[in-house]
Amino acid sequence: MGILEGKRLLVTGVLTDASIAFSVARLAQEEGATIVLTGFGRLSLVERIARRLPEPPPVIELDVQNTDHLDSLADRVGEHLDGLDGVVHSIGFAPQSCLGGNFLNTPWEDVATAVHISTYSFKSLAVACLPLMKEGGAVVGLDFDATRAWPVYDWMGVAKAGLESCARYLARDLGPHGIRVNLVAAGPLRTMAAKSIPGFKEFEDSWPEKAPLGWDLADTVPAAKACLALMSDWFPATTGEIVHVDGGVHAIGA
Ligand SMILES: NC(=O)c1ccc[n+]([C@@H]2O[C@H](COP(=O)([O-])OP(=O)(O)OC[C@H]3O[C@@H](n4cnc5c(N)ncnc54)[C@H](O)[C@@H]3O)[C@@H](O)[C@H]2O)c1
C-alpha cells in the first residue's frame, strides 16, 4: 500500500519534467493517489509532459490571475474527481525587474504581479478548492526560505516571506475545516523558474558546499517526497509548518 492510497489530489505547476510538481505527480501516482493537473499557458505542452507520468492524468487550465478560472475550478475538477484530499501549490513567477540585484528600483506594478502569482494565489487556490474538501485534507505549497535576504532573489524573497505568513493565516482559518496547510522550503533546483533568475548560479555554486547532507540541484525528488508526506495521513496534527528540504543549509551559519 502506498502512503497516498485512495487520495484524490490536485497538482498545479507542472511545466516541464524538471518541475518540482512533475516529481510530486509521478510519486503521488506511484503511492496510490489519483491526480488531476492544472496547467498555465500552453496546455498542449503540459499535456505532452503529463503523458510521461505513469498514468496520464487530466489537465485543466488555471491561471491564478484569472478569477473566472478560479471561480470555475471546483466544478472543472469535480468532472474528474468526486472530492479532494490534497492540493499542491507549486506556482511562482516574478517579472525580471524583481530579480537579480535590482531591488531598489523595481516598480510596484512588477512587485504586485510577483505577489499576486506567488503569494496571494496560495489563498485563492485553497479557497477555490474548498467546496471539494468537505472531509478535510491538506494543502501544500513550495517555499524558498524567506528568513534572510539572499543574493539576487530580491522581490521574490519578499513574495516568499508573504507566502510563509499566508500559510500561517490559512492554517488558522482552514483548521476548523479539518484542512492542514504547510510549506516545503526547498533548496535551489534547476527548473524553468530557477533558470529565469539572473545570477541563480550563485546558489548553484554555494549550496552543495554549505549543505551538511550535500545537495543535488537536479533532483526534485526530496522536495516532492516531503510534499507527499505532508499530504499523507502521517502528519495529522501538523499545520502552519515549514519543512526545510535543503540539505540542511537553513540550520548552518554562513
Ligand atoms: N527551483 C527552485 O530552486 C525552487 C526552490 C524553492 C522553491 N521553489 C518553488 O517551487 C515552485 C515551483 O517552481 P519550479 O521550481 O518547479 O519551477 P517551474 O518553472 O517548473 O514551475 C513554476 C510553475 O508556475 C506556473 N505559473 C506561473 N505563473 C502562473 C499563473 N499565473 N497561474 C498558474 N500557474 C503559473 C508555471 O506554469 C510553472 O508550472 C515555485 O513556487 C517556486 O518558487 C523553487
- Strand 59-61 and strand 137-143: the pairing is unpaired
Domains of the chain: 8-247 (3.40.50.720)
Poorest-pLDDT segment among 25-29, 120-124, 163-167, 196-200: 196-200
242 lines ligand 1 (CB under 6 A): no
Tell me the CA–centroid distance for residue 15 and ligand 1, in Å.
8
Which amino acid is present at 183? L
**Residue owning the nearest CA to atom 32 of ligand 1:** 63
Name the DSSP class of 116: I
Using a 6 Å cutoff on CB, does residue 19 contact ligand 1? yes
Whether residue 254 is predicted with pLDDT greater than 80 in this model: the reply is: no
Q: Is 224 in the pocket of ligand 1 (CB under 6 A)?
A: no
Q: What percent of the chain has a predicted confidence (pLDDT) above 70?
A: 100
Mean pLDDT of the chain: 97
Mean pLDDT of 20-37: 98
Cell of 138: 491538506
- In one letter, which amino acid is 163? L
Q: Is the pLDDT of residue 157 over 80?
A: yes
Pocket test for ligand 1, best of 11, 14, 40 (most atoms within 8 A of CB): 40
Q: Which residue has the cell 513567477?
A: 93
Residue 163, C-alpha cell as written in the block? 507566502
The mean pLDDT of 98-112, rounded to a whole number, is 97
What is the spatial distance between Cα 69 and Cα 60, in angstroms, rounded to a whole number?
10
Q: Residue 198 corresponds to which cell in the numbers above?
A: 539572473
Which residues contact residue 117 at a Cβ distance below 8 angstroms, ignoring those fewer than 6 apart? Answer: 64, 65, 91, 92, 93, 94
**Is 94 marked as a binding-site residue?**
yes
Place of cell 554549505: 210
- 242-245/59-61 β-pairing: unpaired
The answer to whether residue 202 scores a pLDDT higher than 90 is no
Q: Is the Cβ–Cβ distance between 76 and 140 less than 8 Å?
A: no
pLDDT at position 115 is 98
Quick one: pLDDT at residue 244?
98
